[in-house]
Amino acid sequence: MPDTLTVPAAFNGPRESGNGGYAAGALAAFVGEPAEVSLRSPVPLDRELSVVGEADGSVRLLDGETLVGEARAIEGLDLELPEPVSVKEARRATTGYRGLSEGEFSHCFVCGKARADGLKVFAGEVEGRGLVASTWVPPTWVEEQGDVPRELIWAVLDCPTYFATHMEGEMSAAVLARISAEVLGPVEIGAEHVVIGWPIEVDDRKHHAGSAVFSAAGELLARARALMIEPRQA
């Protein structure tokens, strides 16, 4: 019998589907980190999904016969990180957060401005750095044996990558297609952290970006590289 995975409704990204980073992190647990996860279709909420192992060690996430995602372990991330951002800079950056108070992603549990119980990762541009940053204090409701669960850290790594490639100009629609990530150290509940995102490359509809979570002292705790794709115009 295959394993299963369920994304609770509270962990949505768009209104009616799961946060891509959260779903990817939950699926990555089946293959180990660092891992690369590709999302093939919107992640259903509050529905038991099948996790099917493959001969090469990878896994597929299925909703019936619909392929939702795939995950595989990787040896490492091809990712060059910027210098950390100070807590003071990150606090200031949140005042320039471009997330909307209404719309499809306004209730995302990570970055939604309309979400009172969300993680409140509001990554805005850091002046002169070419990246976005936000402070983040993991709330007590995420507690699991004293540390923040890895799938929630993956979720926090996801959202800033969008804003890193949309620091100016029109806020085009884009969805997470692939994310490679690893958690390097424990993230402490109740402590202030710094989350950053930076653009790597934009190729037509494809947006590549990196992200990282640091302690207030600048210790790297998690990192990711993401690919977001704009939907084709009708």
Cα distance between the two ends of the chain: 41
Lowest mean pLDDT among 131-145, 160-174, 181-195: 131-145
- Tell me the mean pLDDT in the region 172-194: 93
Are 131 and 198 in contact by the 8 Å Cβ rule? The answer is yes
List C-alpha distances in Å: 35 to 73, 97, 207.
Answer: 4, 29, 19
d(CA 8, CA 26): 11
d(CA 121, CA 192): 12
Provide the pLDDT for residue 122.
Answer: 98
Cα–chain center distance at 60 = 19
Is the overall model pTM greater than 0.85, yes or no?
yes
Q: How confident is the model at residue 1 (pLDDT cuts 50, 70, 90)?
A: very low
Bond from prior residue into 199 cis (ω within 30 degrees of 0): no
- Tell me the mean pLDDT in the region 51-72: 97
SS3 176: strand
Residue 139 has pLDDT above 60, yes or no: yes
Given the candidates 3.65.10.10, 3.10.129.10, 2.60.120.10, 3.40.109.10, the CATH classification of the domain at 3-73 is 3.10.129.10
Q: What is residue 51's DSSP assignment? A: E
Q: How many CB atoms lie within 10 A of CB 169?
A: 7
- Domain 3-73 and domain 87-229, same fold? Reply is yes
Provide the pLDDT for residue 38.
Answer: 98
The ranges assigned to domains in the chain are 3-73, 87-229
Q: How confident is the model at residue 169 (pLDDT cuts 50, 70, 90)?
A: confident
Provide the pLDDT for residue 144.
Answer: 60
Segment (H or E) for 132: strand 131-136
Class of domain 87-229: alpha beta
d(CA 53, CA 67): 13
Q: Which residues contact 96 (CB under 8 A, 6 or more apart)?
A: 124, 125
Q: What is residue 82's DSSP assignment? A: P
d(CA 12, CA 21): 10
